[in-house]
Structure 1
Amino acid sequence: MNYREFPPGKNFRYIIDTYWFIDNLSICSESHVLPDCSMDIIFNFGSCFRSSGSSKSIINNNDIIITGMMTNFKSHFMEKNSRLFGVRFKPLGLNHFLNFGFHNIKNDIIDLSMVIPESYHKKFRNIFLLEKYNDIIEFFEGVFSDILTFHGNDTDFDVALALQNIYNSENPSVNEVYKITEISQRYLEIKFKREIGINMKEFININRFLKTKKEISLSDKNLTEIAVNNGYYDSSHMIKDFIKYTGSSPKNWK
């Protein structure tokens, strides 16, 4: 299985995290997809693949789907000659493009056609006529740019401020985030869940898990020290999160 990533063009770096391609020319394979605080649009150029625990469990050739924010790992089963192109959006990135409650697709997959006008869906489907990575990316950015120009949405200021605080804090907490906004805790929670797809506590937990997983893979420190450095009460708490988000112990990520 061949996996490659490409950076977005400079005009989209505030919205898109990365473009990715998977080409599976070998036998059928299974892979685990972990929560990563992002949502993707995925174009299926090849054989069908299956996703566990989703209302749309079979993604067929030429399907275009949106994956909601994940709070646990999923298993994907890819057949021989599978080929996927994915657009991984930053938090609030998809909100420039779509305007609906993202909490409705948490841990789920839906067809893009369910949430965009038919005319734009038809334009996106022309991408399947292309083969080269660069041509596919260039085509996507062209259609995406047109949509943003004429139908782009403004993002929510309070949620953007909350995200900024989460990313700028070494060990952020929900209470800390509430203090920097000028709206009620309840109203911020409602807006955060709608715009991001999950509640703030879960988002902070997943973001902490991602930072911890990266440190474990790069550091020689023991697990207890890494857990404390990343805001966990103890290593047992960290282990519990790793089992939830990866299905395995943090020792397996060393």
Structure 2
Amino acid sequence: MILEPKDMIICPKQPYFVMATSRYYKAVVMNQGISHFYCFQKDDAIENSIIAVPDGCIDILFCCDEKEPYAHVCGTVLHPKLVNNEKNKYYFGVRFLPGNSFKFKHITMADLVEQEIPLLEVINDKDLFEQITSCRDFNYQIQVFMNKYLKLYKYYETTNKHKDLRELMISSIIETAGQIKVNELADKAGYSVRYINKMFSEQFGLSPKVFCKLMRFQYLLSNLNDSNKEIFDANLTELAIELGYYDQSHMIKDFYEFTNTTPGKYIHSLQETEYKKRLIII
């Protein structure tokens, strides 16, 4: 089954995080600028590496280690990247929806692309850091984070004069599964192409063209995660056309650029690691 673009909701996926852990817990929010919270622990028995793939989002990842706790703000990658992590340590994370995050000191959304920055360098909140890294209670950590975050989020949303334009741009991209050109965005918003490029970079840290490419990739991931090898092989051409690729080879080339593997091999990995059993949505 191929998802219709109109049914597509941004729920950014990092499948290799799930494949590299025995249990990956996910609490879906999809509101107030947050996609979801997650937690995991990489066990000795799991040999798979944790690899980040492009998703257009910002994460805050906390390592809740008694001796050496840390937290990093992680911008979207543009190519697959090995994530530094250690076995038998508990991690808690929050993934923001594209264009959303804490409002950090002295850095822009573009500054975070392909970067990891220590949280306390951009947010002066040791209390938040200590409360989250000192425990391993997933629900409590979510509560602590939301108590700090919601006040800042509400303030920013009421003072962000570009909020409506940001929402129009993101909804237009999602509704078309990334198949919209910059001039079409400009016409829809009633602004010049130059202004749309400028505002998009400020709000998302990426150009509209690059962001659309990432969303099309994420849309492809959603379809593959709900597919199986036999159905995928039968619908390969249909899927490529649905997503706006020139042909199958174009789709495979783009997928390889973002994952270092092919769609077929990716589905095999999902089945081999029993992906759906490891992903626990609460």
> For residue 65 of structure 2, what is the aligned residue in structure 1?
46
**CA distance in structure 2 between the aligned counterparts of 1:176 and 1:73, rounded to whole angstroms:** 30
Pick the structure with more strand per residue: 1
Shift of 1:243: 1.0
Residues 81-230 of structure 1 correspond to what in structure 2 (within 5 A)?
81-94=88-101, 97-98=103-104, 100-116=107-123, 118=124, 120-148=125-153, 154=160, 156=162, 157-170=164-177, 171-219=179-227, 220=231, 221-230=234-243
Query: What residue is the counterpart of 2:252 in the other structure?
Result: 239
Match of 1:54 in 2: none
The superposition leaves residues 37-88 of structure 1 with CA deviations (integer Å, 9 ceiling, x where unpaired) of 21111111139xxxxxxxxxxxx93212111122111112432222110100
Closer, same or farther in 2 for the Cα pair 1:150/1:36, shift >3 Å? closer
- Between the aligned partners of 1:230 and 1:158, the Cα distance in structure 2 is 25
The answer (yes or no) to whether the contact 1:35–1:70 under 8 Å persists in 2 is yes
What's the % identity of the aligned pairs?
Answer: 25
Q: Is the alpha carbon distance of 1:101 and 1:172 closer, same or farther for their aligned partners in structure 2, counting shifts above 3 Å?
A: same
Residue in structure 2 matched with residue 37 of structure 1 by the alignment: 56
* Structure 1 residue 136, shift from structure 2 partner: 1.2
Say if 2:25 is the partner of 1:4.
yes
Pair 1:231–1:22, CA change in 2 (3 A): same
> Cα distance, 1:194 vs. partner?
2.1
Report the more deviating stretch, 24-33 or 198-207: 24-33
Counterpart residue identity of residue 17, structure 1? S
The runs of at least 4 consecutive aligned structure 1 residues that moved more than 4 Å come to 149-153
For 1:43, what is the secondary structure of its paired residue?
Answer: strand
CA shift at 1:151, angstroms? 6.4
TM-score by length of 2: 0.75
Structure 2 SS opposite 1:7: strand
Please give the root-mean-square deviation of Cα atoms over the aligned residues, in Å: 2.4
CA drift at 1:141: 1.1
Which of 53, 78, 85 is the equivalent residue of 2:85?
78
Moved more, 211-220 or 161-170: 211-220
Task: Between 231-240 and 176-185, report the one with greater CA deviation.
Answer: 176-185
How far 1:159 moved relative to its partner? 2.7
Name the residue aligned to 1:248: 261
- Count residues with an aligned counterpart: 236
Conserved? CA contact 1:159–1:188, under 8 Å: no
Which secondary structure state, in structure 2, belongs to the residue aligned with residue 140 of structure 1?
A: helix
Gap change, CA 1:217 and 1:85, over 3 Å in 2? closer
Select between 120-129 and 103-112 the one with higher mean Cα deviation.
120-129
Native 8 Å contact 1:26 1:80 kept in 2: yes
Residue 209 of structure 1: how far off its partner (Å): 1.2
Is the Cα contact below 8 Å between 2:55 and 2:218 reproduced in 1? yes
The question of whether the paired residues in 2 share the 8 Å contact of 1:69 and 1:198 is answered with no
- Structure 2 vs 1, CA of residues 180 and 98 (structure 1 numbering), >3 Å: closer, same or farther? farther
Distance 1:155 1:69 in 2: 24
Structure 1 gaps of 5+ residues are 48-59
Counterpart contact for 2:185–2:196, Cα < 8 Å: no
Output the TM-score relative to the length of structure 1.
0.83
* CA deviation after TM superposition for structure 1 residue 93, in Å: 2.0
Task: Report the Cα distance in structure 1 between the residues aligned to 2:235 and 2:136, rounded to whole angstroms.
Answer: 46
C-alpha contact 1:24 1:80 (8 A) present in aligned 2: yes
Residues 246, 176 of structure 1: alpha-carbon distance in 2 compared, 3 angstrom cutoff: same
- 1:16 partner amino acid: I
SS at match of 1:46: coil
Aligned residue type for 1:205:
K
Q: Structure 1 residues 106-115 or 144-153, which shifts more?
A: 144-153
- 5+ unaligned residues in a row in structure 2: which ranges? 1-20, 268-282
Q: Provide the C-alpha distance between the structure 2 equivalents of 1:217 and 1:163, rounded to a whole number of angstroms.
A: 23
Match of 1:15 in 2: 33
